Structure 1
């Protein structure tokens, strides 16, 4: 029998968010239940101690929802571990049953821009292969793909990545990927691009089999800030060209995802950009979604209270105008869906180490993470002489889930993030 305390107390998995209108959202990181309560209630629950301010009916409700518990902290973690194990087993069975795979081609490490914060800048100088050739793509699908996916996936999502994947030198590789997809209706193609080369590649973009339908485009902020950060060798501004490319993509009937970078201390620039997108009738366009993404040098602990408040307002503003949270963290949408659908929460942060997500670069190196691509000491396998050879690192990544992360099992947000990135 689970160890219990005679008096109910706040669960260690209780989270609360102040809504700002006198109410707060309680959400349980264990049961995943959400409830609106008076803000004062949430604060007193979070502080612990005497719960006599709650009526017996309120106490019973909060117990049923998982916000309160009789379990000791140690026993609550043990019960949560059991829950995670069940979810992990169900997730593995579901992955085998649904047979959905994600494959990323890093076509090149070269780029026509020189962003100061780019984590791939040094990789182009070190690589011995500039672009993924058409012959490499053909050999990949003939020789290596059957080894990587012995059971043909029911659905395959291919992402074209870089560097800048739409550079002219990548056209041959891209057309070979699209030719393969054209013969297989279960394959979807997307690209992550700075959009400066969209006019030259427009014939490859749009709806229909064997075409690039989903496009991610990055903006760094308003015109002035963007043009100071995302610059080509010529030094020419790129903001207006990027916006023009977004409009062209919409005209081509592509689905566009705008990635808005958040820079430390520059939230006013992000705010100006959102206002611009709304004025230009891009924000809320049915073919366009928006999400915020902090750059890789962003340190949330250095945020001022004013910046945190401003970002909160900006996030809510975009969410209300677009009808969805402006975040690429899929658990936000999934968490909301869990309230009405049977969706399994996260027990792994990402697909690194799994069998249904792989990244391949022009050298034939395999990776499990975008940010590790090109760093050969972090590759999880290689393609060589017709054979796939995986390294020990793939197995190590495969073991990275909540059951093997004791500190994460004690975290109230464990089922939302799945354990975070490996170090």
Structure 2
């Protein structure tokens, strides 16, 4: 199998059937292919592979920054039933599922986190630091967020991002974080207003949709922050997502937002998503993406499955996920979960034999009960249609190449 190399990790290019021929997705870009560039099993013919390599489509950029994800608080003010940080469902029917153990980032732990990052950066010969503020809900500890970014400036902070539910973000706080290096925030929506307010609920009760949109609009006016809008798709909400896209375009500045649609998986805490990877749902994803682009949203173009800096390397060489108490996890999906720690920022990573079975990657598909082949077919269909549309509307960009 043809592949690109990234310092020990493999990146497998993808070949997708488009409306007019084929699409090749490599770490270095995208190219159109003709039928005679491929074998019957959809493998590149040697001449086609040589041409693509010469054009740089197999080239993988080297990392220049160390990726540091830090949970500033493991608590959350919402009670979403599907959250991977829940340890069980709320069987009482309320909105208080049991969660991972409480921890809050302190000044002392920030010192240990940054000293750990400095050691890892020196080992990997990386000069810049990229920080992700994570939770729980990170803004339940705003001082921890501010202090971490302020002190990270002395360690080569290049940019910071945050994953937040958006309910606690005010213009004043957003300006403070922006001045300290925060550049973008990921916020999740669970369908249109009524569906979202039934799913993404406060632990004290009540919906969140209007508050989130109102906060985002106010912060957009007050800061240069950009937004990554993740839309969770399930059997509960998929029928209202067309309306959601229109509503978001009316309440937000689409030019400052990217829109990403993702099917919610089963993370083993009693939540099930009955939505299948069918042709009908693929058509819906395609329709949502095209409408989002028409309304001025950014929709990320398809790509290869690239290594995650934090979890794709079993020695944590290029990144780390740190819980608020200073324990290390391989991935943000296991941070704070009992028994999944792979070290501490004070002592470093445990020997590999002691992390066997605890080192998972966010690229893995364990959260889906469906056959991997069904997921692959679904994603290939959606991605090929998006590439077709981006190409037809002149949005694909300069890194797309026609192989001849």
Pair 1:250 & 2:215 matched = no
Q: Secondary structure of the residue that 1:234 maps to in structure 2?
A: coil
State which of 99, 109, 114 in structure 1 corresponds to 2:64.
99
| Partner residue, 1:302 | 276
Q: Relative CO higher for 1 or 2, CA cutoff 8 Å, sep ≥ 6?
A: 2
State which of 188, 200, 208 in structure 2 corresponds to 1:218.
188
State which of 148, 160, 173 in structure 2 corresponds to 1:202.
173
| Partner residue, 1:131 | 104
Deviation at 1:108, TM superposition (A): 2.4
Unaligned runs of 5+ in 2: 1-13, 89-96, 267-271, 365-371, 384-404
- In structure 2, relative to structure 1, the CA distance for the partners of 1:224 and 1:81 (3 Å cut) is same
Q: For the Cα contact (< 8 Å) 2:87–2:100, is it kept in 1?
A: no
Unaligned runs of 5+ in 1: 1-12, 19-23, 35-64, 336-345, 402-406, 418-423
Instruction: Figure out how many residues of one structure are paired with residues of the other and give that number.
Output: 334
- In structure 2, relative to structure 1, the CA distance for the partners of 1:203 and 1:255 (3 Å cut) is closer
| Partner residue, 2:18 | 17
Q: Secondary structure of the residue that 1:213 maps to in structure 2?
A: strand
Q: Secondary structure of the residue that 1:115 maps to in structure 2?
A: coil
User: With structure 2 as the length reference, what TM-score do the two structures score?
Assistant: 0.68
User: With structure 1 as the length reference, what TM-score do the two structures score?
Assistant: 0.65
- In structure 2, relative to structure 1, the CA distance for the partners of 1:365 and 1:82 (3 Å cut) is farther
Distance (whole Å) between structure 1 residues aligned to residue 83 and residue 199 of structure 2: 10
Q: For the Cα contact (< 8 Å) 2:160–2:183, is it kept in 1?
A: yes
Deviation at 1:240, TM superposition (A): 1.0
- In structure 2, relative to structure 1, the CA distance for the partners of 1:391 and 1:147 (3 Å cut) is farther
Q: Secondary structure of the residue that 2:219 maps to in structure 1?
A: helix
Distance (whole Å) between structure 2 residues aligned to residue 115 and residue 126 of structure 1: 11
| Partner residue, 1:363 | 325
- In structure 2, relative to structure 1, the CA distance for the partners of 1:371 and 1:384 (3 Å cut) is closer
Bigger radius of gyration among the two: 1
Pair 1:165 & 2:138 matched = yes
Deviation at 1:319, TM superposition (A): 2.2
- In structure 2, relative to structure 1, the CA distance for the partners of 1:83 and 1:195 (3 Å cut) is same
- In structure 2, relative to structure 1, the CA distance for the partners of 1:223 and 1:179 (3 Å cut) is same
String of CA shifts for 1:9-37, please: whole Å, max 9, x gaps. xxxx753234xxxxx35224689531xxx
Distance (whole Å) between structure 2 residues aligned to residue 72 and residue 232 of structure 1: 53
Distance (whole Å) between structure 2 residues aligned to residue 75 and residue 88 of structure 1: 16
Q: For the Cα contact (< 8 Å) 1:181–1:188, is it kept in 2?
A: no
State which of 119, 144, 156 in structure 1 corresponds to 2:84.
119
String of CA shifts for 1:51-88, please: whole Å, max 9, x gaps. xxxxxxxxxxxxxx463258686996999999999999
- In structure 2, relative to structure 1, the CA distance for the partners of 1:121 and 1:84 (3 Å cut) is farther
- In structure 2, relative to structure 1, the CA distance for the partners of 1:368 and 1:385 (3 Å cut) is closer
Q: Secondary structure of the residue that 1:370 maps to in structure 2?
A: coil
Distance (whole Å) between structure 2 residues aligned to residue 165 and residue 89 of structure 1: 37
| Partner residue, 1:67 | 35
- Indicate the larger mover: 230-239 or 300-309: 300-309
